[in-house]
């Protein structure tokens, strides 16, 4: 059993915020792979099905971002899921908009959702880091992250959700480098990221 976790804040008032890109992507995965309707489970909502021939539980924590680990910890402990089989989809201000990187473990870079998850299950889980860009000034980061995606950003956000959902079977099979490359190439083909950015298409 794998666990795909989307990070975000619950409630309609947060639905369009940059901090909620994890929710958006995991919801797109559920739709693309025809998973059952979301139901309340593990202090959030969950849906279980098969992706890439692997059994996967999708989870959207119902706690606020800084308590995400409560829901993740409950699911991991109940289902006895290894850290390496936990995949967390998160927003990342240190990456340009639309760029995606996958890594296992590492620092939390001030991300409260990751901090909470690491406190509950350890740090060696997989992270799908989704670039939302940096406002350029440190003091503006909080406002930027909790702000809604601008109208001009909607196209790349929608494309990214579709592309990640299409390629989710690669993540389910543990083919993280192939997933990262395919997402980068597909986003570049649509003109949303720099096609010549070799770093974006490198191994994690």
List the pLDDT tens digit at each of the 204 positions of the chain: 999 999 999 999 999 999 999 999 999 999 999 999 999 999 999 999 999 899 999 999 999 999 999 999 999 999 999 999 999 999 999 999 999 999 999 887 778 899 999 999 999 999 999 999 999 998 899 899 999 999 999 999 999 999 999 999 999 999 999 999 999 999 999 999 887 765 544 433
CA 174, 56, 44 angle in degrees (round to 5)? Answer: 125
Please give the C-alpha separations between residue 13 and each of 8, 119, 146, 170, in angstroms, as whole numbers: 12, 27, 10, 32
CA 165/CA 73 separation, integer angstroms: 24
Q: What's the confidence (pLDDT) of residue 199?
A: 53
Q: Which residue is catalytic, options 19, 33, 111, 184? A: 19
Cα separation, 101 vs 200, whole angstroms? 7
pLDDT of residue 200: 47
Residue 191's SS3 state is coil
C-alpha distances (whole Å) from 191 to each of 8, 19, 23, 59, 97 are 27, 23, 24, 31, 12
In this predicted structure, what is the pLDDT of residue 110? 79
> Is 33 in the active site?
no
The CATH number linked to 23 is 3.40.50.1470
| Domain that includes residue 26, residue range | 2-201
Sequence-ordered list of residues with C-beta below 8 angstroms from that of 191, at least 6 positions apart, any chain: none
In this structure, are strands 86-92 and 2-6 parallel, antiparallel, or unpaired? parallel
Structural domains counted in the chain: 1
């Amino acid at each position: 059993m794998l666990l795909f976790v989307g990070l975000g804040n619950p409630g309609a008032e947060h639905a369009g915020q940059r901090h909620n890109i994890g929710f958006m992507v995991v919801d797109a995965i559920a739709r693309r792979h025809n998973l059952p309707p979301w139901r309340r489970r593990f202090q959030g909502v969950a849906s279980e099905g098969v992706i890439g021939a692997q059994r996967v539980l999708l989870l959207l924590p119902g706690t606020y971002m800084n308590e995400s680990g409560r829901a993740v910890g409950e699911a991991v402990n109940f289902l006895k899921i290894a850290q390496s089989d936990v995949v967390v989809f998160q927003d990342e201000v240190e990456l340009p908009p639309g760029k995606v990187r996958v890594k296992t473990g590492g620092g939390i870079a001030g991300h409260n959702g990751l901090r909470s998850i690491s406190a509950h299950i350890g740090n060696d889980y997989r992270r799908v880091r989704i670039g939302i860009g940096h406002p350029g000034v440190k003091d503006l980061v909080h406002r930027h992250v909790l702000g809604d995606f601008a109208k001009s950003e909607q196209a790349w956000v929608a494309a990214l959700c579709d592309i990640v959902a299409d390629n989710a079977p690669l993540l389910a099979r543990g083919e993280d480098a192939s997933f990262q490359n395919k997402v980068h190439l597909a986003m570049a083909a649509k003109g949303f990221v720099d096609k010549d950015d070799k770093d974006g298409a490198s191994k994690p």
